Amino acid sequence: MNVAENTVVSFNYRTTADGAEVDSSTQRGGPLTVLVGHGGIIPGLEKALLGRAAGDRFEVSIPPAEAYGERRPGLAQRVPKKYFRNPAQLRPGMMTALQNRDGGRQMVVVTKVGSSVVDVDLNHPFAGRTLDFEIEVTDVREATPEERAHGHAHGPGGHEH
Ligand SMILES: [Zn+2]
């Protein structure tokens, strides 16, 4: 069976940006399983998976527009340290969660740590970056009616609930 809309594909992957590994299925403990056509992964990767079958290996380079978008200017913010859970551990370049006004959490990248404030960038950490993927497709199957209704894959590597 080949990857198409409403199939469930499992794959091992290694992601690098500028030659450095930024993510991999080894890091997350096994293949990723996604329902194709429901926005579960970045558009460029989904496109590259279409038509593939179990056992296929390939490499693909995905530009920002097909990944996490371009970096947007004006998303830098200066935030008092008290809004961070772990202010003493903050270092430039690290990602951390920032509590927003609605009580939700947002991932931000720390750019500078001052004595009482922290400069952060609200762009997605991979915004503006070309991502290189090494992919190994391990399984392709038909989605169940339940998975289609939920809009995501179930089972190992997918949503567990
Ligand atoms: Zn579900």
Residues with CB under 5 A from ligand 1 (ion): 150, 159
What is the distance in A from the centroid of ligand 1 to the CA of 30?
19
How many structural domains compose the chain?
2
* pTM score: 0.80
Domain assignment of residue 41, given as a range? 7-68+127-150
> Which CATH number covers residue 81?
2.40.10.330
Question: Which contacts qualify for 79-85: CB closer than 8 Å, 24 or more apart?
Answer: 79/117, 79/118, 79/119, 79/120, 80/116, 80/117, 80/118, 81/116, 81/117, 81/118, 84/118
What is the distance in A from the centroid of ligand 1 to the CA of 5?
17
What is the distance in A from the centroid of ligand 1 to the CA of 159?
6
115 and 143 in a common domain: no
53 and 32 in a common domain: yes
User: Is residue 113 a part of any domain in this protein?
Assistant: yes
pLDDT by residue for the chain (161 residues), tens only, comes to 999 999 999 999 999 999 999 999 999 999 999 999 999 999 999 999 999 999 999 999 999 999 999 999 889 999 999 888 888 999 998 988 887 777 777 888 999 999 999 999 989 888 999 999 999 999 999 999 999 999 999 999 999 88
CB 12, CB 25: distance < 8 Å:
yes
What is the distance in A from the centroid of ligand 1 to the CA of 60?
29
